[in-house]
Structure 1
Amino acid sequence: MEATSPPFWPWSSPPQADALEVSGVPLHVAGVAFGVAILAYSLVNAIEIAVVGANRIRVRHLMEQGNRAAAALYRLQQAKERFFTLIVLLQNLSVVVASTAGSFMAAQAVGGVGGLALGTGVMTLGLAMLGEVLPKVLAAHAGERFPLVMARPVAAIMWLLRPLVVPLATAPAFVSRLLFGQRLGVTPTVTEAELRTLIDIAAEEEAVEERQAELLERVFRFGERRVREVMVPRTEVVWLERGTTVSEFYRLYAQNPHSRFPVYEGSVDNVVGIVNIKDVLRGLAQGEVGPDSVIDWFMRPALFVPESKRVGDLFWEMQRSGQQMAVVVDEFGGTAGVVTLEMLLEELVGVVSDELRPAQQEFVTVDERTYRLDAGMSIDDANQELGLDLPEGDYETVAGFVLDHLGHVPREGEQFVYNGLRITVTRMAGRKIEEVTVTRLGTPQGQEPTP
């Protein structure tokens, strides 16, 4: 009677010779392939984190100093689609090799369903710990040296594999155009919010001086603000009526020594030009006019701008046109005020004073809890300079906030409490609020106005 082989079940272990015949790979070769694949997977993940996390500003600075490794790293950061395509290719290749080698070793060691389960568990833990977590943590703490060292080898590999990398990298953009008729969006390298945060951090760490940080912050606010926030309102403008004589103009100038005066005809809503004091002085010196001559002879065309125009846009427009003053027009076509190039510059560098116009303090510190404020001080400046945390609204100044909060024109001496601040109207000029006093209270109280 012939001997029969025992039946083979999927969960049983096959004979060692059969396993070797099935796999065709010696155990030690599979082990080496498995180890190399895990190491390669770990290295690829570390490179991905290091390149993506490298400080782009620092990399560009090193590149401009002639660092070739930094130049290679910068090119990798710029070629995002190709770089990530290469990373995905290498990651998948490593996973396939590691999975295949691990399956061979598990099949030879255990076999059957038990070997499959063991191989799956080992692969999962090995890839998670050795291939994902550990290399990414190490790369995040390695600093800039690791990505600089690896940049050129990675660039060389990307060049060698370009027949695969280029088509795969361009495929998403092609599919996007095919389906949606547009290209994939490009995320900016550094956003404005990130730059502002970087400036704050640099100031806190004293990498830049406080004045430099303040100037940079003013640059950002400069581009955000509207003309109505910085203009001189029409009620505070010194106007010239058309037909005014030179002698009358001099009397006005003696009381209000400005460089330029807007000229109106009939109403300040009908501005017809701008008069420059230098033109008047030159005309008198050359004998072209006399004291009884009318000022109309010196008028220059006025530049009209909407009050919603951004300050930055107006600055460049005035710089290109050579205009030093612009008339601000509201949405109804009336005159809202005027703005000068000097006023726009002051938004960047602060108040500029001269012999004819001394610097005016917008606030005076009475004691550690009390301030006297010019009611025309902007809400932004009051919050930034004094930390008052006044709310923003359909107004630009402290006076506007007071009127908005009270809902009526206040009396001199009227006060109210808002958010732990006692705000007192200390000086009025007719219906105009000229000065307020702000006192910090120990405990926030109600917000009802009190006489």
Structure 2
Amino acid sequence: MSFFDNAMIILFLIGTSCFFSMSEIALAASRKIRLRQMASEGDRRAEKVLHLQANPGNFFTVVQIGLNAVAIMGGIVGESAFTPYIQAFLTPWVSEPWLGKLSFFLSFALVTSLFILIADLMPKRVAMAIPEKVALVLVSPLMVSITIFKPLVWFFNSLANQLFRLLQIQTLRNDAVTSDDIYAVMDAGAEAGVLDKDEQLMMEKVFEMQTIPVTAAMTARESLSYFLLQDSEEEIKRKITEDPHSNFLVCDGQLDIVKGIVNAKKLLICVLNGQNISLRNNELVESCFIIPDTLSLSESMEYFKNSRADFAAVINEYSLVVGIVTAKDLQDAVMGAWSLPENEEQIIARDNNSWLMDGVTPITDVMRALDIDEFPQNHNYETIAGFMMFKLRKIPKCTDSVNFAGFKFEVVDVDAYKVDQLLVTRLDGVEVAEMKLMADALA
């Protein structure tokens, strides 16, 4: 054959290798979410790609058959195509026995370089950049190749499956989407500028709603303002003036005997109409929605939606009121800093290495703010104040501190045994090393 014929064969083999290389990378890198969206829009090619991804054995087998066969053929044809011409070119400068060896080596290097550059590196980089587009274009000819090589595909697949069984190697791919996958996508979106920091935070909190208890969003028992059935009109007006709210719990003698709720608007209407205010009036007091403190935020929202309520009392296993929660509280827990005035933010950064935190800050918010993966035995507490109690094994006092995960958590304000505020400081490398040495010495 002439040089032109050999060159055409080499180009054909390079093109074939390019096809199989692009197919391999494109089908492996194509995102199922994008393909399912295309398939739902009626693209049959996307359905074929999804089918091949679900059954990758035939696909990988035909790709490897094609790549290896083309590589062998390329070596054979390339050596015979280029060696005589290279040998003729080198004859004036190189003599035997080195002439034949050098000509063969240069021919081998030339063919190998062409395959590496044009048939391997370039197509794979293109396929990685736009995997779905490439996969849709190549899936039909790839299906034809699988049909043509079906006997070989069946033979090698059967042999591989037997070896996998013998070695007890799992080959089924798990495509279940986990919460970690979703967080990774959101992190990538934030890095790419698609999501800003607040949007990412809100979306993360939405996914955490099933694990965060309702007690993390409620107004705690000690902070409640409520009415008693026995309260006089003057007492009711005083409580509204001192601590105005839209709704108030109504109790009988003590907080734990809940009789219902009263809306402040109804009380205002009574005042404007010159009527006496009495909480024993059944028209003023409405029934109160009661939920257990074991519910998560998502379960609480579901309760609120089904009952069309926006206010609920939270009780524990002993039927004691531990707090109240409103629809706005649940919204604030999800929206975070978006829905809170600046003076109500629970975590305030003083600088890059120190933060002021309310004692009632949920431990999940602390983990996110400080980039801490996990707190020890965090099923025993819900807030940063609870963490301090758990670590100190006592009621915290001012200046009490705990060192954990490279941070110093110091109590700076206590009100009637309640941890109001903490100062969190990042420790430098020397302090962290000293902490480890002390821990090793104690151990």
Alignment TM-score, normalising by the size of structure 2: 0.66
Of 86-95 and 390-399, deviating more is 86-95
Aligned-pair identity in percent equals 20
Q: Quick check: 1:51 aligned with 2:51?
A: no
The unaligned stretches of length 5 or more in structure 1 are 1-31, 103-128, 169-183
CA distance in 2, matches of 1:149, 1:365: 47
Which of the numbers 25, 47, 59 marks the counterpart of 1:87? Answer: 59
Report if aligned partners of 2:250, 2:258 keep a CA contact under 8 Å in 1.
yes
Which 10-residue stretch deviates more, 85-94 or 308-317?
85-94
Cα distance in 2, alignment partners of residues 335 and 185 from structure 1: 51
**Residue 403 (structure 2) pairs with residue 418 (structure 1):** yes
Distance 2:211 2:116 in 1: 43
Q: Does 1:339 align with 2:315?
A: no
- Looking at structure 1, the residues matched to 232 and 172 of structure 2 have their Cα atoms a distance apart, in angstroms, of 62
* Deviation by residue 1:33-85 (Cα, 9 ceiling, x = unmatched): 9x999986874564243123123455567779x8x8xx344323433577636
138-147 vs 306-315, which moves further? 138-147
8 Å contact kept, 1:76–1:83? no
- Asked if the contact 1:45–1:135 (Cα under 8 Å) also holds between the matched residues in 2, the reply is yes
- Out of 202-211 and 144-153, give the one that drifted further: 144-153
CA drift at 1:193:
1.7
Is residue 117 of structure 2 the alignment partner of residue 141 of structure 1?
no
Residue 295 of structure 2: which of 309, 314, 323 is its match? 309
Give the direction of change, closer, same or farther, for the CA distance of 1:159–1:332 in structure 2 (3 Å limit).
farther
Counterpart position of 2:219 = 232
- 1:426/1:436 contact within 8 Å kept: yes
Q: Does 2:60 align with 1:75?
A: no
Contact 1:244 1:295 in 2 (8 A): no
Give the number of equivalent residue pairs: 383
Residue identity opposite 1:362 in structure 2:
Q
RMSD: 5.2
- Unaligned stretches of 5+ in structure 2? 1-7, 75-112, 155-170
What whole-Å deviation, never above 9, does each CA across 1:335-357 have from its counterpart, x for those lacking one? 33221110111122225779xx9
Give the match for residue 166 of structure 2: none
Alpha-carbon deviation of 1:87?
Answer: 2.3
Q: Output the amino acid matched with 2:364.
A: D
Rounded to whole Å, the distance in 2 between the matches of 1:293 and 1:391 is 46
Partner in structure 1 of residue 251 of structure 2: 264
Structure 2 residue corresponding to 1:391, chosen from 367, 375, 400: 375
Asked if 1 retains the 8 angstrom alpha-carbon contact of 2:332 and 2:339, the reply is: no
Deviation by residue 1:194-225 (Cα, 9 ceiling, x = unmatched)? 22112212222323323322322232223432
1:362 and 1:148, CA in 2 relative to 1: closer, same or farther beyond 3 A? closer
Shift of 1:390: 8.0
Match of 1:381 in 2: 365
Mean CA deviation greater in 226-235 or 82-91? 82-91
- Who is 2:316 aligned against? 330
Shift of 1:234: 1.8
Q: Which residue of 2 aligns with 1:438?
A: 424
Of 314, 319, 322, which residue of structure 1 is paired with 2:305? 319
Partner in structure 1 of residue 199 of structure 2:
212
Q: How big is the shift at 1:141?
A: 1.7
Residue type of the partner of 1:342? K
Identify the match of residue 201 of structure 1 among 182, 185, 188. 188
The C-alpha deviation readout for 1:131-185, integer Å capped at 9, x for no partner, is 99997765542245565355256347759999x99xx9xxxxxxxxxxxxxxx99
Deviations 1:315-338 (A, max 9, x none): 233134221112223234433322
Could you report, residue by residue, the CA deviation over 1:234-270 in whole angstroms, capped at 9, with x for unpaired residues? 2222232234344422211111112222223344333
135 and 72 in structure 1: CA distance in 2 versus 1, 3 angstrom threshold: farther
Read off the aligned partner of 2:59 and give its amino acid letter.
I
- Residue 231 (structure 2) aligns with: 244
Paired with 1:144 and 1:277, the residues of 2 have a C-alpha distance of 61
Q: Secondary structure at the match of 2:209?
A: helix
Task: Letter of the 2:139 partner, please give it.
Answer: V
Residue by residue over 1:422-448, the C-alpha shift from the partner in whole angstroms, topping out at 9 and shown as x without a partner, is 444332222222223334444135589
What residue number does 1:151 align with?
Answer: 136
- Higher fraction of helix: 2
Distance 1:151 1:261, change over 3 A: same
Q: Select between 52-61 and 424-433 the one with higher mean Cα deviation.
A: 52-61
